[in-house]
Amino acid sequence: MRLLSRVAAALIGLMPLSNLEASEKITLPLAPGITRADIYVEPFDGDARGTLVLCPGCNGNGQDLVDNPKWLNYAKNERLNLVGLSFASGDDAQDHGYFKVSSGSGQMLLDGLKQAFGETQTPLLIYGFSRGAQFTYSFTKWKPDRVIAWCAYSATEWEVPEKSPNEPKGIIACGDEDETNYSFSMLQFLKGRSMGEPWTWVSLAHTGHQWSPLLEDFIRAYFTSVLTNPLNKGLWLDVDTKKPLEPDDLKEHPTLAAWLPDENAARAWEEVHQP
């Protein structure tokens, strides 16, 4: 039996990553200011139509997210590769921590995706919380052509938005009891909308700096809509009244508008967003 176990283990080690059933850890070379650089991958068994990257809070381990049954089932049903970010930086790495792609973390992720899924890459969906949200926006700003949709929830810091011709659809979310993060997140949304970015604002009622299952239900509905109809013009709703906006109102008051990909996502947004 011991010989059989060793043979089986050797065979598993020779199998391509895409044929493995359990999530696998890929360890990447470190850069200054980064003390851990791992990703956990759960490849879709077939032709994936996208890759979903989940980014936990400060120095968090993405394996917990990849192993979450809701995200696993979602990825399977939507034909997505699933990836959990597991990067870390020391307390003294504020200016070059992994949450800023200028640290090299963005290229690390791209290298890991290439190692996991090969040269041909699918569109990226990225969702991050706290420092993971900061990484999410930093990566999206750096490589907007690689990302089809993103959500940054309760980011602790924001990079200044810049207009891009390939700007992906994005969600900025925060709990209304998350102290200064709420004001900073709302300000980031207003800055982006003043530039015409296709962004959505989500205000979570009675919520502090914590994960939100209700928000994640909306994120999944939003991501599905964008992935299924990437060229859909969508619709614009007032962030306060939640009512549809006429073109003239949108043009006159762009910062009061939230973009939704379709009616299904709009209904989910109306449930979770509490201005």
CB 12 within 8 A of CB 20: yes
Total number of domains in the chain: 1
Indicate whether 32 belongs to any domain: yes
Overall pTM surpassing 0.85 (yes/no): yes
Residue with tokens 């052509």, as numbered in its chain:
145
Tokens of 47: 């032709």
Query: Mean pLDDT, to the nearest integer, of 213-219?
Result: 98
Helix 263-272 vs helix 213-228: angle between axes, to the nearest 10 degrees? 170
Indicate whether 15 belongs to any domain: no
Indicate whether 253 belongs to any domain: no
CB atoms within 10 A of CB 148: 19
Helical ranges in the chain per DSSP H: 2-14, 63-66, 69-77, 105-117, 131-142, 179-194, 213-228, 247-252, 263-272
Tokens of 84: 């959990």
Query: Mean pLDDT, to the nearest integer, of 71-100?
Result: 92
Average pLDDT, the chain: 91
State the pLDDT confidence band at 22, using cuts at 50, 70 and 90: low
167-206 confidence digits (pLDDT tens) = 999 999 999 999 999 999 999 999 999 999 999 999 999 9
Indicate whether 20 belongs to any domain: no
Indicate whether 11 belongs to any domain: no
CB 218 within 8 A of CB 271: yes
Indicate whether 168 belongs to any domain: yes
Which pLDDT belongs to residue 112?
97
Structural domain of 46: 25-228+260-272
Which pLDDT belongs to residue 8?
38
Indicate whether 238 belongs to any domain: no
